[in-house]
């Protein structure tokens, strides 16, 4: 399939997720179920959650390319059997919710590995599982994954539409971290689409929510959205809107409090900071940030890291007469 055809199909597939029935109409599979070959209880649900957390920690540290096969095999060999087992309605809801988190993680891994077609299928499946479980937060998070992918593929209007639906799905939630997460996604999509009013309003709403967040994060993907992650995302939205001074302040803030224990995240923030500094005319600062980025990126299997490396090397060509740039380019070329 040619790229244009693939992207058109991708856009249609992403939008198709929005046409799913109301969550309660999908709960037929989580009613009391008898006749399955495997009896499922809270132990199996806990196992899925623990496995998802462990695999998620690995992926967040060194990229989605490292553990995707393990996650897919675990779902195919174990979780799919439990989904077809025997359980009560309460356990059925919990199992579908846990499975939704795992499938979402596989979608994120696929996206981070540069496999958008698979990522879409997993995000859409995660949405269905979350809907069957009656879990609005997990459903909204799956839609967020589709919105981010639409951004990456260049479908700006599609990204805005899905991000708006993501925010609407989360209206009943009281988790401020999750609300900040979804509003920031809408702000990002709107900024890229050139809708400054929506981007500014959504970013302000996201900031209000993240500042209200308190206590330890919960178990879900969205509830782990920290002030540091918000600062990074907000910085890049502000850069998209042309406010590079505020963007750099936010990125420095993100580096000070976020990503120190996540190699992949810190590398991405450093790459973004270098680009913002270059646009401000701070060549020395950009080269220094990119040097830290190259050090941090070693060993990470992530398409975002590879894209950042290609972007940096293209920009370095214009700076080839600047001291230290040639050495930096040589170091970057050694990363695989």
How many C-beta atoms surround the C-beta of residue 227 within 10 A? 17
Reported as a pLDDT band with limits 50, 70 and 90, residue 27 is very low
The winner for highest mean pLDDT among 2-6, 62-66, 117-121, 139-143 is: 139-143
pLDDT score of 84? 85
Residue 35 burial (10 A CB sphere; 0-12, 13-18, 19+):
exposed
305 Cβ neighbours under 8 A, 6+ residues apart: 63, 264, 267, 268, 271, 297
Closest CA to 154 of 272, 7, 2: 7
**pLDDT tens, 62-88?**
888 888 999 999 998 889 889 888 888
Place of tokens 């302000």: 204
CA atoms within 13 A on the CB side of 135: 28
pLDDT at 218: 67
Task: Say yes or no to pLDDT of 21 above 50.
Answer: no
CA torsion 176-179-184-187 (nearest 10°) is: -130
């Amino acid at each position: 399939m040619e790229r244009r055809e693939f992207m058109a199909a991708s856009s249609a597939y992403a939008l198709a997720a929005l046409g799913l029935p109301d969550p309660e109409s999908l709960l037929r599979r989580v009613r009391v179920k008898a006749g399955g070959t495997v009896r499922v209880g809270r132990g199996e649900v806990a196992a899925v959650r623990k496995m998802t957390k462990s695999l998620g920690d690995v992926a967040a540290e060194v990229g989605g390319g490292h553990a995707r096969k393990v996650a897919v095999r675990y779902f195919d060999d174990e979780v799919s059997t439990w989904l077809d087992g025997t359980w009560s309605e309460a356990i059925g809801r919990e199992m579908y919710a846990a499975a939704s988190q795992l499938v979402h993680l596989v979608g994120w891994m696929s996206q981070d590995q540069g496999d958008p077609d698979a990522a879409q299928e997993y995000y859409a499946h995660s949405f269905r599982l979350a809907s069957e479980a009656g879990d609005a937060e997990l459903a909204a998070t799956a839609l967020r994954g589709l919105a981010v992918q639409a951004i990456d593929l260049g479908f700006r209007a599609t990204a805005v539409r899905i991000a708006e639906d993501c925010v609407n799905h989360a209206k009943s939630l009281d988790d401020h971290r999750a609300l900040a997460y979804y509003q920031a996604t809408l702000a990002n999509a709107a900024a890229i689409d050139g809708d400054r009013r929506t981007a500014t309003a959504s970013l302000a709403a996201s900031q209000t929510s993240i500042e209200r967040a308190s206590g330890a994060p919960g178990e879900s993907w969205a509830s782990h959205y920290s002030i540091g992650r918000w600062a990074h995302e907000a910085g890049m939205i502000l850069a998209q809107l042309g406010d590079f001074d505020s963007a750099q302040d936010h990125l420095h803030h993100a580096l000070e409090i976020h990503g120190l224990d996540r190699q992949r995240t810190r590398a991405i923030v450093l790459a973004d900071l270098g680009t913002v500094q270059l646009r401000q005319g701070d060549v020395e600062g950009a080269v220094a940030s990119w040097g830290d980025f190259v050090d941090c990126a070693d060993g990470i299997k992530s398409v975002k890291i590879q894209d950042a490396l290609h972007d940096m090397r293209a920009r370095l060509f214009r700076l080839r007469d600047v001291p230290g740039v040639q050495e930096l380019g040589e170091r970057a070329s050694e990363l695989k």
